[in-house]
Structure 1
Amino acid sequence: MNFLNNMNLLPKNFIVANVVEVLKEDPENGVEKLYEMSQTFVTDPQVKAIVGQIKGYYDTHPSIKRYIKNMIYNTNKTCLNYFLQNVAVKELWEGLPKREQLSAQYRIHIPHAIVIDLGMNDSLSSQGCSPQFDPNLAMPLSEVNRLVLEAKELGIHQILITGGDPFLNDSLLKMYEKHNDVEFMVLTNGSLLNDQRCLTLSKLGNVFPLILLEGNKEQVSEAILGSAYEEIMAGLERLKSYGILFGAITPVKRSTLKLISSDDFILPLIRKGSRLNAYVITHDEPLQPQEYEELEARVSFIRQTRPYVTFLLRSSQPFVCRRLVGPFYFDYELNGQKQQIHLPQVNVQKSQNKQLLQVLREMNS
């Protein structure tokens, strides 16, 4: 690992690729090896202190240790490499200072990530729901490509793709490949994750599917016409077998509050390879303060005791016809102060004939 001796002179993508090599060569001890190496090449006292804090957190939280080792063991090298490149380097290392600089320059808030609503159909029919597809609301691929390009220019390298099921449009796969410096989190019902598509995703490496799940078999079967639950579960198994990073996204309903935060729901997803669960509280299913506190406590407990990342999101839009389109809000506390991350939603009505910067400015006003 001589490259570490000249780390400051090397391209960041080269550094990350070698970090992935170290981890994949020895998943059990890779983190410890990287920490030992860091003691040689990290000279800045502040950075060294941060590295020490991260290592201390890793050592004292068994669930985090299991989570990271599990991810290293079961994620293919391409997906792991792109995830670290796009999230750690592009989004944080390079993207954070760029977004701060441009936010000050343009006097608007440039977000960590954006939601692009494609306005597409879904591949599954929902119970009691007959949505009318309006082709005028479907975003052309050229428009999606333009928005992604402009997002990167603003330092945004995480994009959530939603609106129907994006895997209905295989043309998007070429776009994901073209913009391999972006981590695309694609919201899907999971029914289209066949072997050919999973093989393609494993080679792309920068697509992180988020499978919509209302609960276990009973709840999903109540929501979808036909028997698609087994097909969705088979899709999760395929994602795991191809070493693809993926997670679940769950709309919160008062009737399923205890189920979706229980081990009966979480543990099978972990076994099938899911890395995270985002719980979305929608406009049409508000929780009472006590219910919210209980859910928040349970989600925090899962995160601290299971090898799984869980968090709460809020959406100002209702959950209709199994569609979660954003915008989304993530609330958290930092040094005792309440903070909020806003993930703005962009659709064809907002973006037509407008640059992304203008769209964000209108949302800020």
Structure 2
Amino acid sequence: METDKRLLWKFAYNFGYKGMRSVQKYKQRLKKGVHFPPFLFISIINSCQLRCQGCWVDVSSPRQMLSLEELDRLVTDSKKHGNSFFGLLGGEPFMHPQMLELLARHPDCYFQIFTNGQLITDEVAAKLRKLGNATPLISIEGSEVVSDERRGGQEVFNKTVAGLKNCIKHRLIVGVTSSICQTNYDLVSEQWLKQLIDLGVHYVWFNTYRVVGPEPAPHLALRPEQVLELRRFIVNMRTRMPIGIVEPYWDDRGQALCPMSTGVSHHIGPSGSIEPCPIIQFSKENIRDSDSIYDLMTNSQFLKDFRELSAEATRGCVVLERPDLVKDIVIEHSASDTTQRQTAMAELDKLAPSSSQHNPETQIPEKHWLYRFAKKHWYFGFGAYT
């Protein structure tokens, strides 16, 4: 309740009510065999000032970014089909010179900005409060020592926390995300959640480290029992701690799922490529091919086959568990490597199969009624696994 009440209303209406409505429209489309995701995740720029371990984005390559006009067209067309929520990723999205203008052009939408937080100055936070339709989701990967090691920089933790405090000062709805791996598993703790609550953070998003990219770090990956422990921790803390806890990997019954396989979300890269998800950097379509993102996605045989193949193979992450299948479908469709490094296929060849969130022997259902209700109706399998 510390947040600006106008921002709280924008969140409740643009993200909450309209987000539920967009999923309902998605369900209606599915009955007709039409797949257009209710949520889009857009990497608006590849550039970043950090060099994180295991990053799959070409942050050191020449700058690629979607223009304001392309982003505006993409959002406008999506809105025609009921969408109102968009995730903005990078690189570092605050390096895009016109990102705030995009937010200003669409006050009827809600944006989640995945950021390292270091470019959120007092002035930027004030602008975000005035706009009122975005939540920064700030990445913190552990202590000062761990953050510097994981993020490839100096004073990373302190600079990130400074950006976080600017958000809190201006009463923004703000979250913290962590990619949980071996070096920061201590963040899976009640103490960490209490620290965030004391700071004024409203929600936390737990991801698990994905062993992908040009320089994967398999030694950082979680063991299956640690993934289960993380799931159990999330379910229990949702009933006890006054902070929102987000994770994208399980439904209300505790069954694993993949948002890409269910069709609830797909990804658009900084070159305009339309990809199954952020870590699958292959594409057959580009937003520059047509004025309609809806037409491109609903007519994409590549996306359709990818969803179906993934759902048939596992309820977890097909890239981790079956990189051979990913390679097969890329070859079958002659899909383009969307990286600037042009080594994505070679990276698949080197990728050894590993476990993900799929563990049918041990499923941990939601305990909190609100999470259980929301996941049951607006975030579940959508028939992908039948």
Aligned residues of 1:123 and 1:191 also touching (Cα < 8 A): no
Cα drift, residue 160 of structure 1: 0.5
Task: Give the Cα–Cα distance (whole angstroms) in 2 for the partners of residues 272 and 346 of structure 1.
Answer: 33
**Count of residue correspondences:** 272
Equivalent residue number for residue 9 of structure 1: none
Alignment of 1:282-297 (within 5 A): 282-284=209-211, 286-297=221-232
Alignment of 1:1-365 (within 5 A): 72=1, 74-92=2-20, 94-105=21-32, 107-126=33-52, 131-135=59-63, 137-222=64-149, 223-257=151-185, 259-284=186-211, 286-313=221-248, 330-334=249-253, 341-342=259-260, 343-347=265-269, 348-350=272-274, 351-354=287-290, 355-361=292-298, 362=300, 363-365=303-305
Aligned residues of 1:333 and 1:339 also touching (Cα < 8 A): no
* Identity value in percent: 23
Task: Give the Cα–Cα distance (whole angstroms) in 2 for the partners of residues 283 and 240 of structure 1.
Answer: 30
Task: Give the Cα–Cα distance (whole angstroms) in 1 for the partners of residues 222 and 51 of structure 2.
Answer: 27
TM-score using structure 2 length: 0.65
Cα drift, residue 238 of structure 1: 1.6
Relative to structure 1, is the Cα distance of residues 86 and 305 closer, same or farther in structure 2, using a 3 angstrom cutoff?
Answer: same
Q: Aligned to 2:251, what secondary structure does the other structure show?
A: strand
Letter of the structure 2 residue corresponding to residue 311 of structure 1: V
Letter of the structure 1 residue corresponding to residue 96 of structure 2: N
Relative to structure 1, is the Cα distance of residues 288 and 360 closer, same or farther in structure 2, using a 3 angstrom cutoff?
Answer: farther
Cα drift, residue 333 of structure 1: 2.9
Structure 1 stretches of 4+ moved >6 Å: 127-130
Q: Which has the larger radius of gyration?
A: 1
Unaligned runs of 5+ in 2: 212-217, 275-286, 306-386
Q: Which has the higher helix share?
A: 1
Letter of the structure 2 residue corresponding to residue 356 of structure 1: I
Task: Give the Cα–Cα distance (whole angstroms) in 1 for the partners of residues 94 and 180 of structure 2.
Answer: 24
Cα drift, residue 131 of structure 1: 4.0
Aligned residues of 1:236 and 1:273 also touching (Cα < 8 A): no
Cα drift, residue 278 of structure 1: 1.3
Task: Give the Cα–Cα distance (whole angstroms) in 1 for the partners of residues 143 and 234 of structure 2.
Answer: 17
Task: Give the Cα–Cα distance (whole angstroms) in 2 for the partners of residues 247 and 204 of structure 1.
Answer: 17
Relative to structure 1, is the Cα distance of residues 101 and 349 closer, same or farther in structure 2, using a 3 angstrom cutoff?
Answer: same
Task: Give the Cα–Cα distance (whole angstroms) in 2 for the partners of residues 256 and 124 of structure 1.
Answer: 18
TM-score using structure 1 length: 0.68
Residues 21-79 of structure 1, C-alpha deviation per residue, up to 9 Å, x if partnerless? xxxxxxxxxxxxxxxxxxxxxxxxxxxxxxxxxxxxxxxxxxxxxxxxxxx2x110221
Task: Give the Cα–Cα distance (whole angstroms) in 2 for the partners of residues 232 and 216 of structure 1.
Answer: 11
RMSD after superposition: 2.4
Residues 209-229 of structure 1, C-alpha deviation per residue, up to 9 Å, x if partnerless? 010111122211222322132
Aligned residues of 1:108 and 1:364 also touching (Cα < 8 A): no
Aligned residues of 2:65 and 2:96 also touching (Cα < 8 A): no
Q: Aligned to 2:35, what secondary structure does the other structure show?
A: coil
Residues 333-357 of structure 1, C-alpha deviation per residue, up to 9 Å, x if partnerless? 34x8766544211121222313322
Residues 215-251 of structure 1, C-alpha deviation per residue, up to 9 Å, x if partnerless? 1222112223221322221221221121100101111
Cα drift, residue 308 of structure 1: 1.3
Q: Aligned to 1:83, what secondary structure does the other structure show?
A: helix
Greater mean alpha carbon deviation, residues 179-188 or residues 223-232: 223-232
Q: Aligned to 2:50, what secondary structure does the other structure show?
A: coil
Letter of the structure 2 residue corresponding to residue 133 of structure 1: S
Task: Give the Cα–Cα distance (whole angstroms) in 2 for the partners of residues 128 and 332 of structure 1.
Answer: 27
Letter of the structure 2 residue corresponding to residue 191 of structure 1: Q
Cα drift, residue 104 of structure 1: 3.4
Equivalent residue number for residue 59 of structure 1: none
Unaligned runs of 5+ in 1: 1-71, 314-329
Task: Give the Cα–Cα distance (whole angstroms) in 1 for the partners of residues 230 and 255 of structure 2.
Answer: 20
Residues 157-178 of structure 1, C-alpha deviation per residue, up to 9 Å, x if partnerless? 1111001111122411111011
Letter of the structure 1 residue corresponding to residue 293 of structure 2: L
Relative to structure 1, is the Cα distance of residues 263 and 339 closer, same or farther in structure 2, using a 3 angstrom cutoff?
Answer: closer
Equivalent residue number for residue 372 of structure 2: none
Q: Aligned to 1:305, what secondary structure does the other structure show?
A: coil
Cα drift, residue 306 of structure 1: 0.9
Letter of the structure 2 residue corresponding to residue 150 of structure 1: D
Letter of the structure 2 residue corresponding to residue 300 of structure 1: V
Cα drift, residue 254 of structure 1: 2.5
Q: Aligned to 2:231, what secondary structure does the other structure show?
A: helix
Q: Aligned to 2:47, what secondary structure does the other structure show?
A: coil
Aligned residues of 1:216 and 1:265 also touching (Cα < 8 A): no
Task: Give the Cα–Cα distance (whole angstroms) in 2 for the partners of residues 128 and 255 of structure 1.
Answer: 13
Cα drift, residue 142 of structure 1: 1.5
